[in-house]
């Protein structure tokens, strides 16, 4: 191979490595969440630490702040499954939480 082709090939390999590194960095949070899920799926203990770790995969680290079920979310669905909650139970908890916030609001402003 002549020198020009060799240099071109080396430059292409460098660009490819940079692109792979960029992709790895961009998807690092997703990969970490998947690792947490896999680790929790193998866990035998369902305690407070398990609960906190399951919530760590969520956008705001709490089911209380998750979107409603109308919006698809792999993280919420994974967390609910890990914790053993059905969609119906989740909806009921969200509704109860909303009512409690409304009551506190009314107390504060009456």
pLDDT of residue 11: 92
Cβ neighbors of 97 (< 8 A, separation 6 or more) are: 64
- Residue ranges for the chain with pLDDT beneath 50: none
Q: Does residue 55 contact residue 61 with C-beta atoms inside 8 Å?
A: yes
Q: How far apart are CA 84 and CA 78, in angstroms?
A: 10
Question: What whole-number distance in Å separates Cα of residue 82 and Cα of residue 54?
Answer: 7
Closest CA to 33 of 90, 93, 77: 77
Is the pTM for the entire model greater than 0.85?
Answer: no
Q: What is the pLDDT of residue 23?
A: 93
Q: Report the percentage of the chain scoring pLDDT > 70.
A: 99
Query: pLDDT at position 110, please?
Result: 81
């Amino acid at each position: 191979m002549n020198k020009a082709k060799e240099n071109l090939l080396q430059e292409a390999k460098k660009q490819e490595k940079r692109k792979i590194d960029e992709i790895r960095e961009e998807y690092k949070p997703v990969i970490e969440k998947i690792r947490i899920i896999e680790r929790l799926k193998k866990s035998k203990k369902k305690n407070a630490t398990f609960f906190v770790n399951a919530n760590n995969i969520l956008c705001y680290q709490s089911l209380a702040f998750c979107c409603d079920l109308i919006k698809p979310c792999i993280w919420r669905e994974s967390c609910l499954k890990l914790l053993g909650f059905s969609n119906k139970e989740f909806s009921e908890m969200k509704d109860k939480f909303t009512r409690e916030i409304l009551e506190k609001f009314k107390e504060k402003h009456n």
